[in-house]
A = this chain, B = another copy of it.
Amino acid sequence: MKFSAKFEYALVALLYLKCEPDEMPVSGRTLSEKLNLPYRFLEQILSDLKKGGIIRSVRGKQGGYKLSVEPEHISIYDVYQVTEGKFEPWDCTHGESADGCGQSHNLCVINQFYTDFKTTFIDLLKSYTLDRLCNSAKNLKNLSAKVV
């Protein structure tokens, strides 16, 4: 029960894109160097983010990536889904035989628990947006500025 590195790298990359001026796209190479992430791996992630419609790309020299949506419309669940797929917290393997827990599948408490949990989990991730994360960042900076 961990978030994958893919997910984390994607978040970090997106935050960087958000902080950059909107005109020039940022290349994968730059992202990789600035954020200290493995280049080829990051490429795959950027590809996923593109397929998911979160960023768009400019090919060829001087190309790179930019956000394709306003950051307030990018939820963390979007990022999750793109990097890790739909959230399915269980496989219910033993349930296929219909009496895994001594109950028929749709009467299974465990099944019900997972379903409940899934909903809450997704809603929670949806409640965070890229924008919200960035604002937290600003607050943190101001805070530390005052302290220092």
Contact = CB atoms under 8 A, between A and B. Distances in A.
Interface of A: 1-5, 8-9, 11-12, 15-16, 34-37, 76, 80, 84, 87-94, 97, 99-103, 107, 109-110, 112-114, 117, 120-121, 124-125, 128, 133-134, 136-137, 140-141, 144
In this complex, which of A94, A109, A134, A136 has the most chain B Cβ atoms within 10 angstroms of its Cβ? A109
Contact of A124 (B16, B97, B120): B120
Given A76-B113, A109-B137, A113-B133, A8 B90 contact: yes
Contact of A110 (B8, B91, B109): B8
A8 B92 CA distance: 8
A95 B115 CA distance: 34
A124 B88 CA distance: 17
Contacts of A103: 137
